[in-house]
Amino acid sequence: MYSLTFLTRQCHISVAVSVNCVGRYVESAGIVPLVSDSKVSADGAAIEPPSYASIRVAVVTGGGHGIGRAICRRLAADGKRVVVADIDEAAGKRVAQDVKGIARAVNVADPDAIARLVADVEASEGPIDLFVSNAGVGFGDDAGLAASAAGAIGNVADRWQPCWQINVMAHVYAARALVPAMIERGGGWFVNVASAAGLLSQIGDAAYTATKHAAVAFAESLAITHGDDGIGVSVVCPQAVATRMIGIEDDSNTLEGGFGGNDVDGVLRPEAVADRIVAALEARRFLVLPHPQVEAYEQRRAGDRERWLEGMRRMRRRIENT
C-alpha cells in the first residue's frame, strides 16, 4: 500500500560526487564540513541544543485549535510558559486561559507581525527557547486540476499564495527573527509542523503537497546550517489528525474524517501528535513521524519512483470511483 497524507497540516543515500563548494567537499561517506562559521564549544565540539527540560518559554502558532492547542496543553503541563499565537484571537485567548499562558493575535503570513511577536514576547517573558510553527492551510485542487488557482474549498483568488506564505514562509520568518539571538545566547529549538505530504504526496492538493515539501526542505537546511550553533530543529510529518482540517471539530469524539485517502493509516488525536513531538524533543530528534508507516512509504518512493507514482495514480482512480 502506498500512502498519502491530509490537508492540514529519511532514507539516506550516500553517493560519490565532487562539488566546487567553499568550505566543503563531498566524499562517498557523505558531506564533510571543512570550514564553518558555526560556533563551537571551548573544546572544539559543536554546541548541543538545549534539553527539553531546560526549555522555559515556548511560542506556538496556530495554537488556538487542533494540533497547536494540544501542543500548548502538553507544554504547559510540563511547566513551560506558553504563548498561544493565532489569527483567531478568541480561540487563542481561550487556550491561553486554559494553560495559564498568554495569547497573541498574529497573522503568520506577515513577516513584520512575526518579528513583533518575537520582540514582544522576549521583552515580556524572556528569551524564547522553543518556537513551534504549527499554523498551516490547504484548499484542494479545483475541478481536479493540479495547477488551478482556485481551491476546492475556501474563497481565495489564488490558493498557491496563502499556501506558500503560511506553510513555508512563516517558518522562514520565525527563523529570521530568532536565529541570530538564539546563536548569541547558545541555542534554542524550532519545531516546524509540516505533513507526510511533505515526504510523499497528497492526492487532490498540489499546492499543499508542494509547499509541505518546501517546509521539510527548509527545516533540513535550518538543521544543517545551524545544528552546530546549538539550534535544534524538528519537523513533524503526520498523516490524518482529528482536526478541523479534515472536517473534525475541536473536542469532537469522532475519528471519522479525512479525504483523498489521507486516513489510510488511521486518524490520530492531536494529543497523540503532541506527545510524539515532546518525545522527539527529549530525544533531540529531527524527523517526527506520528504515523510510523510513513518511513516505509518514503523509502519505497525513493527506491522506485516510477512504481510509487503508478501506485498513487491507482489510488487516485480508486478514490474518484468511490
pLDDT tens for each residue of 268-288: 999 999 999 999 999 999 999
Question: Which H/E stretch holds residue 315?
Answer: helix 305-320
Mean confidence (pLDDT) of the chain: 88
Q: Which of 101, 221, 237, 239 lies closest to 172, judged by CA? A: 221
Fold of 50-320: Rossmann fold (3.40.50)
Q: Which of 193, 312, 190 lies closest to 262, judged by CA? A: 312
In terms of pLDDT, which residue wins out, 32 or 213?
213
Please report how the helices 270-283 and 66-77 are oriented relative to each other, as an axis angle in degrees rounded to 10: 50
d(CA 109, CA 113): 8
Residue 26: the pLDDT is 30
d(CA 247, CA 155): 17
pLDDT digits (tens, 9 = 90+) for 86-133: 999 999 999 999 999 999 999 999 999 999 999 999 999 999 999 999
Residue 15: the pLDDT is 28
* Three-state secondary structure string covering 38-100: CCECCCCCEECCCCHHHCCEEEEECCCCHHHHHHHHHHHHCCCEEEEEECCHHHHHHHHHHHC
Residue 28: the pLDDT is 30
Asked whether 191 and 130 are in contact (CB, 8 A), the reply is yes
Q: What is the DSSP letter of 123?
A: H
pLDDT digits (tens, 9 = 90+) for 240-254: 999 999 889 998 888
Provide CB contacts within 8 A for 112, sequence distance 6+.
none
Residue 46: the pLDDT is 84
Residue 22: the pLDDT is 32
Give pTM, 2 decimals.
0.86
List, in sequence order, every residue forming a beta bridge with 84; answer none if it has no partner: 60, 103
What is the layout of strands, in order, in the sheet containing 102-105? Answer: 102-105, 81-86, 57-61, 130-133, 188-193, 231-236, 287-288
pLDDT of 35 > 70? The answer is no
Question: Average of pLDDT values for 80-89?
Answer: 98
pLDDT of 14 > 70? The answer is no
d(CA 225, CA 24): 12
Q: Which of 13-22, 60-69, 178-187 has the lowest mean pLDDT?
A: 13-22
- Which residues are tagged catalytic? 208
Grid cell digits, residue 157: 483568488
Domain ranges across the chain:
50-320
Residue 140: the pLDDT is 96
Residue 117: the pLDDT is 98
Please, what's the b/e burial string for 162-188 (b: 16 or more CB within 10 A of its CB; e: otherwise)? Answer: bbbbbbbbbbbbbbebbbeebbeebbb
End-to-end C-alpha distance for the chain, whole angstroms: 18
pLDDT of 201 > 70? The answer is yes
Residue 147, number of CB atoms within 10 A of its CB: 9
